[in-house]
Amino acid sequence: MSPETRRWRQILLHPRIVLPVLLSAALLAFAFSISNLTQVFDRIDEIRFSTIVLGFLLALMYLSMKWLELRLLLSRLAIRLPWRRLVFAFAIAEMTITIPAGVYVQNYILQRMRSAGFARSAAATTAMLLIELCLILLMLALLGIPHWVWIRPTAIAVLSGLLLVLGLLISTDALSERLLPRIRQRGVRTFAEGLSEVIKGLGQLAVLRTALPAVLLAAGYLGALAGAFTLVGRGTGVEHFTYLQAVTVYSFSLTVTLLMAGVLTQLGVIEVAGLGAAVSFGYDPSEALAMMLGFRIVWMGSVWLICGPTALLLRDVMRTTPEVDQTGLEQLAE
């Protein structure tokens, strides 16, 4: 076995990779066990080509608005780089988003290209995730889920607690001022320094002129995602599936995934969480699973069809000398 093969084998067999994959398989197996698979795949097979095309266009809108939000947040952190580099990193991240912490792949790529430090750019990525989480928690608090009387107060409590903790972290800066000087272990200190830089970056982004357009862009691309989910759900034969139901079901699914802090893979978690929420709306498990799996196929296919060729065309940016490097902390403070 060659050293390269051995290295990849070690990576693929690492518990951080194996355990989430096994969990995803177990969750999907559970979903299959409570559904009629023949009906599920028959319903998925009913999805029309026109629905797939509309889903593709909504995915393109989703990616465009999400990229604009990332570009906005990075620019507010004084990280400015050629659009080709940012598009390449973003495209790779969107293709790996289903794996644990896959969205942070774009920050790793930007660091590898020497375009931005990992922690600096990760502040923008983290802000995007937090904005998404706040919006979907707000939707759950407003819309609720039938028969789940606990969902609204829980969503309100989690949203309030999240905002409170973020406010305290950003305003006190206790990590860098009080804790960092006491940390002696090198690995822990490196992690703490990176976390401190992310928190400082979040503080830079927590101003109205940045937060408002970022929230509007996030609401736009999440709305496009929910629109695609509605179309695909109806395409599986569930004609009475409404847009608000799609917003609620997918908000609950994304909330479960995001609250796991990227530890779990999206695949399987979203499907089972969405299945549970859809059943509460009165849909049987086969209908619910057909909607969730059908949307997964259409959405992931669209994202890969857009991002795959894009990343392939721009792959040379990994080999060229960076035109714009990370700016200094003094510019970040301005």
Task: Give the confidence band of 323 by pLDDT, cuts at 50, 70, 90.
Answer: very low
Q: What is the mean pLDDT of residues 247-266?
A: 79
326 has a pLDDT exceeding 50: no
Instruction: Note the pLDDT of residue 182.
Output: 59
Q: What percent of the chain has pLDDT over 70?
A: 76
Instruction: Note the pLDDT of residue 30.
Output: 55
The pair of structure tokens assigned to 143 is 């819309």
Instruction: Note the pLDDT of residue 31.
Output: 64
Task: Give the confidence band of 134 by pLDDT, cuts at 50, 70, 90.
Answer: very high
Instruction: Note the pLDDT of residue 81.
Output: 83
14 has a pLDDT exceeding 70: no
320 has a pLDDT exceeding 90: no
Instruction: Note the pLDDT of residue 333.
Output: 34
DSSP state of 327: P
Q: What is the mean pLDDT of residues 48-75?
A: 95
Instruction: Note the pLDDT of residue 57.
Output: 97
99 has a pLDDT exceeding 80: no
Alpha carbons 169 and 163: distance in angstroms, whole number = 10
Instruction: Note the pLDDT of residue 159.
Output: 95
CB 288 within 8 A of CB 274: yes
Instruction: Note the pLDDT of residue 329.
Output: 34
CA nearest 126: which of 169, 88, 62?
A: 169
| DSSP bridge pairs for 319 | none
The pair of structure tokens assigned to 57 is 């266009």
Alpha carbons 236 and 6: distance in angstroms, whole number = 44
Burial zone of 156 (CB within 10 Å; 0-12 exposed, 13-18 middle, 19+ buried): middle
| Residue scoring higher pLDDT (113 or 3) | 113
Q: What is the mean pLDDT of residues 298-313?
A: 93
CB 218 within 8 A of CB 238: no
Q: Where are the domains of the chain?
A: 36-332
28 has a pLDDT exceeding 70: no
Whether this prediction's pTM lies above 0.75 is answered by yes
Instruction: Note the pLDDT of residue 130.
Output: 93
CB 249 within 8 A of CB 148: no
165-170: long-range contacts, CB 8 A cutoff, minimum separation 24: 166/130, 166/202, 166/206, 169/199, 169/202, 170/199, 170/202, 170/203, 170/206
In this structure, of 60-74, 98-112, 224-238, the range with the lowest mean pLDDT score is 98-112
The pair of structure tokens assigned to 65 is 């608005």
Task: Give the confidence band of 266 by pLDDT, cuts at 50, 70, 90.
Answer: low
In this structure, of 56-70, 86-100, 151-165, 316-330, the range with the lowest mean pLDDT score is 316-330
CA nearest 117: which of 261, 314, 316, 322?
A: 322
**Residues 292-304 pLDDT 10s:** 999 999 999 999 9
Q: What is the mean pLDDT of residues 240-251?
A: 94
